[in-house]
Amino acid sequence: MSIFPFFRKPQIKKNQTRLSGMSKSTRWDSEDSESKQLPIYQHRNKLTQAVKNSPFLVVTGETGSGKTTQLPQYLHRAGFCKYGKIAITQPRRVAAITVAQRVAQEMRCPLGREVGYQVRFDDCTSQDTVVKYMTDGCLLREVLADPGLSQYSVVILDEIHERSLNTDILLGLLKKIFSNPAKATKGRAFPLKVVVMSATLESDKLSSFLGDCPVFAIPGRTFPVTCTFGSAIGPKDIESTAYVKEVVKMAFDVHTSEVAGDILVFLTGQSEIERACDLLFEKAETVDYRFDVQDPTVEGLLILPLYGSMPTDQQRQIFQPPPPGIRKCVVATNIAATSLTINGIKYIIDSGFVKQLNHNSRVGMDILEVVPISKSEAQQRAGRAGRISAGKCFRIYTKEFWEKSMPEYTIPEIQRTSLTAVVLTLKCLGVNDVISFPYLDRPEERFILEALKQLYQFDAIDRRGRVTQLGELMVEFPLHPGLTRSLLKAASLGCQDLLLPVAAMLSVENIFIRPGRPEKQKEADKKHRGLATRVGSMNDFATLLSIFQSCKSSDRPSAWCKENWIHWRALKSAFSVETQLREILLRLQQVQNFPVETFDGNKSELLRQCLCTGYFTNVARRSMGKVFCTMDGHGSMVHIHPSSSLFDQEAELNWVIFHDVLVTSRVYIRTVCPIRYEWVKDLLPKLHEVDVYELSSVAREEVTDKEMKKWETREAAKRQPGF
């Protein structure tokens, strides 16, 4: 990964005093006074009172008004922690971590003590933690273990406007559990308080959803932002990636021609952001500050990337003010639109795109794709420039793109992604009728049915929609149900050591380093190919396993990674994730009756057969030449992605399973493994045997006993013992 040092005028380098930062204590003092400047500060007493007075409260306020960082501190000071912890949920892990860091600093305690965070596979809390920032997914898991949330006195669902799937589900669950005063106070000295925080003005809708609860609107101050449209990206460029070069050009123009003030650039993901930072740095190096830059006080450019999987110490840098004379330019994903507020931003460069998880009906799977943002999102992005003074927003797309390609609002995640995992969670919580669950915005019934169908195919629910023993085990794993299914199969065969590392490696960011320079790229490709051939038979899952094992057994694992062009940081996370998954499995094996099966085939085929149990929904058969056809009823034509070790071997393959799909002009399958038809022969009929109408009645619990008897007899005949 490249490092982006800041570029500054050479003569300034000598004047080191201008660079030396403030001492730690003065920084803290300044943070204290900074937090007193926030719009929320004047309302602190009324706010804590409002939380006390009502079981549900909606709090709205402009982004940056201090909701996320301040309200938990006010509640802490007002004594709410006497009755339990304060939980604050965030849809994004980076937000949970960085905000917790900031609040720990403001409360002058080490992170993980009074203030901590918990995100998937990373728990930074202790016995002393009373203010706990966490992802919405983590709180959902806690509801599963303790529906009364007895550890907490206040639960704050933050960033409701993001409309993440887990936050939406939590909102419905908390309404369902705590709207009933008897339930809300059961076994508690103090009834749970639920605060729902949102940046936008959906407060009426939220309030009426929560039984017309009170709304506390924090009056904000914002300054006008002038928006201009560009000429580069029009409605025809939806699939082009030309926007990266265009935002770089625009950011550079702003740097050279606009008065001092920091820049925030919106792009869609890590590799793009790193490329943009590289390009921008190259350009910045050519600047002669005596002639090229309009504002004489601007003497350098500090370029900082910001995306989800960035190391935390680098994330912290984003919030620090730049040295005097230096203009900061943060190149970020959508995370900087509302979840994180960076002070000092005066200019926005908006690419107009975002990376979004969408259900793709062409392939019948959820796919991360780059799509145009909505108009409301574009306004939110622009607004980030008007926090301290009047700002400017440069949109690189045309007015026509705005009118023709951008929807008015972003569709909530619950209405556009797979519901398999949340439906299983709801079922395990005893919410049988998943159709009439209180959704803030109802997902289409076909998405709910699709989820039920998948759960049935994985044996997580029976035909009556009841959770099976296997389903109860599956819900414990923070993984995709298919991967969990494979893992549990492996555990029942006693070969979890093969699957645990694979599951861990698939749960962390991409482990393969892709250098920018072509000659380095060749070197990395060669190393990666070498790692794949070491496995013997070509199989991307086995390659992941082999990398995990080789690195773990190496004396100098970080050097091993460097030599093989593997991200050491990602591997370290994978080691930790594997340990955590192993712990979950061990805990379950101690308390549950785990069926034990035997395996009488070739040992080397064990991994692939276990994978088939969870990935039979992702089976493809060679159709002709290099084209494969999926077997899930969509019959999509797919190609093996060039990053796969099987890319050049298509001719010898007939059947494969794959982990995910990338859609560009073609549909590519990635992380691929060859299989034998016999292994999926008995499973494939499951893809087609489920009748949607049956499931529809299962979803509504209207199945008659007579119908049920018929299915059960049929099922019993088909089923074999074990998993």
Q: Give which of Mg ion, ligand CDP, none residue 41 binds (C-beta under 5 to 8 Å, depending on kind).
A: none
Q: Which residues bind ligand CDP (CB under 6 A)?
A: 38, 61, 63-70, 98-99, 101-102, 319, 341-343
Helix or strand or coil: residue 491? helix
Helix or strand or coil: residue 72? helix
Our CB check for ligand CDP shows the closer of 101 and 617 to be 101
Backbone phi and psi for residue 469, each to the nearest 5 degrees, phi listed first: -60, -40
| Residue pointed to by tokens 């109802």 | 442
Stated as kind and residue range, the H or E segment containing 48 is helix 44-53
CB of 151 to ligand CDP, least distance (A): 24
User: Which residues does 16 contact at the CB level (< 8 Å), separation at least 6?
Assistant: none
Our CB check for ligand CDP shows the closer of 187 and 311 to be 311
Our CB check for ligand CDP shows the closer of 319 and 512 to be 319
Rounded CA-CA distance 171/438 in Å is: 9
CB of 586 to Mg ion, least distance (A): 37
CB of 205 to ligand CDP, least distance (A): 19
| Residue pointed to by tokens 């009502």 | 54
Q: Give which of ligand CDP, Mg ion, none residue 6 binds (C-beta under 5 to 8 Å, depending on kind).
A: none
540-543: Cβ within 8 A, 24+ apart: 540/644, 540/645, 540/646, 540/659, 540/670, 540/671, 540/672, 540/673, 541/502, 541/607, 541/608, 541/611, 541/659, 541/671, 541/673, 542/607, 542/673, 543/645
Our CB check for Mg ion shows the closer of 319 and 599 to be 319
Q: Give which of ligand CDP, Mg ion, none residue 427 binds (C-beta under 5 to 8 Å, depending on kind).
A: none
CB of 666 to ligand CDP, least distance (A): 41
Q: Give which of ligand CDP, Mg ion, none residue 417 binds (C-beta under 5 to 8 Å, depending on kind).
A: none
CB of 98 to ligand CDP, least distance (A): 4
| Residue pointed to by tokens 């299914």 | 485
Our CB check for ligand CDP shows the closer of 183 and 316 to be 316
Q: Which residue is nearest to Mg ion, using beta carbons? A: 68
Helix axis angle for 420-428 and 136-145, nearest 10°, is 30
CB of 222 to ligand CDP, least distance (A): 12
Our CB check for Mg ion shows the closer of 68 and 618 to be 68
Residue 357's DSSP bridge partners are 368
Our CB check for ligand CDP shows the closer of 380 and 573 to be 380
CB of 340 to Mg ion, least distance (A): 8
CB of 47 to Mg ion, least distance (A): 14
Our CB check for ligand CDP shows the closer of 319 and 568 to be 319
> Closest Cα partner for 295 from 505, 9, 41?
9
Structure token digits, residue 510: 């991409």
Q: Give which of Mg ion, ligand CDP, none residue 457 binds (C-beta under 5 to 8 Å, depending on kind).
A: none
Our CB check for ligand CDP shows the closer of 63 and 167 to be 63
Q: Give which of ligand CDP, Mg ion, none residue 398 binds (C-beta under 5 to 8 Å, depending on kind).
A: none
532 half-sphere exposure, CB direction, 13 A CA radius: 21
CB of 198 to ligand CDP, least distance (A): 10
Q: Give which of Mg ion, ligand CDP, none residue 61 binds (C-beta under 5 to 8 Å, depending on kind).
A: ligand CDP
Our CB check for ligand CDP shows the closer of 233 and 342 to be 342
Our CB check for ligand CDP shows the closer of 66 and 300 to be 66
Q: Give which of Mg ion, ligand CDP, none residue 98 binds (C-beta under 5 to 8 Å, depending on kind).
A: ligand CDP
CB of 81 to ligand CDP, least distance (A): 19
Our CB check for ligand CDP shows the closer of 67 and 328 to be 67
Q: Give which of Mg ion, ligand CDP, none residue 333 binds (C-beta under 5 to 8 Å, depending on kind).
A: none
Q: Give which of Mg ion, ligand CDP, none residue 631 binds (C-beta under 5 to 8 Å, depending on kind).
A: none
Other beta carbons less than 10 A from residue 431's beta carbon: 17
By the 8 A CB rule, do 111 and 96 touch? no
Question: What are the distances in angstroms from CA 246 to CA 30, 159, 243, 382?
Answer: 37, 30, 5, 17
Rounded CA-CA distance 521/515 in Å is: 5
CB of 64 to Mg ion, least distance (A): 8
Q: Give which of Mg ion, ligand CDP, none residue 50 binds (C-beta under 5 to 8 Å, depending on kind).
A: none
Q: Which residues bind Mg ion (CB under 5 A)?
A: 67-68
Q: Is the Cα torsion angle 541, 333, 335, 309 positive or negative in sign?
A: positive
Our CB check for Mg ion shows the closer of 68 and 89 to be 68
Q: Give which of Mg ion, ligand CDP, none residue 580 binds (C-beta under 5 to 8 Å, depending on kind).
A: none
> Closest Cα partner for 98 from 262, 327, 314?
314
Q: Give which of Mg ion, ligand CDP, none residue 496 binds (C-beta under 5 to 8 Å, depending on kind).
A: none
Single-letter code of the amino acid located at 82: K
CB of 65 to Mg ion, least distance (A): 8
CB of 414 to Mg ion, least distance (A): 21
CB of 77 to Mg ion, least distance (A): 19
Nearest 5 degrees, angle CA 325-CA 330-CA 332? 175
DSSP letter (8 states) at residue 415: G
* Residue 210, burial from CB neighbour count under 10 angstroms (0-12, 13-18, 19+): buried
Our CB check for ligand CDP shows the closer of 15 and 343 to be 343
CB of 503 to Mg ion, least distance (A): 32
> Closest Cα partner for 508 from 585, 586, 581?
581
Nearest 5 degrees, angle CA 577-CA 582-CA 588? 130
Stated as kind and residue range, the H or E segment containing 61 is strand 56-61
By the 8 A CB rule, do 306 and 336 touch? yes
> Strand 637-640 and strand 115-119: pairing?
unpaired
> Strand 122-124 and strand 131-135: pairing?
unpaired
Structure token digits, residue 57: 């409260």
Q: Give which of Mg ion, ligand CDP, none residue 64 binds (C-beta under 5 to 8 Å, depending on kind).
A: ligand CDP
Q: Give which of Mg ion, ligand CDP, none residue 425 binds (C-beta under 5 to 8 Å, depending on kind).
A: none
Q: Give which of Mg ion, ligand CDP, none residue 420 binds (C-beta under 5 to 8 Å, depending on kind).
A: none
Our CB check for ligand CDP shows the closer of 156 and 248 to be 156
Three-class DSSP labels, 260-303: CCEEEEECCCHHHHHHHHHHHHHHHCCCCCCCCCCCCCCCEEEE
CB of 222 to Mg ion, least distance (A): 15
Our CB check for ligand CDP shows the closer of 410 and 420 to be 410
Structure token digits, residue 70: 């301040």
Rounded CA-CA distance 708/696 in Å is: 14
Rounded CA-CA distance 156/100 in Å is: 14
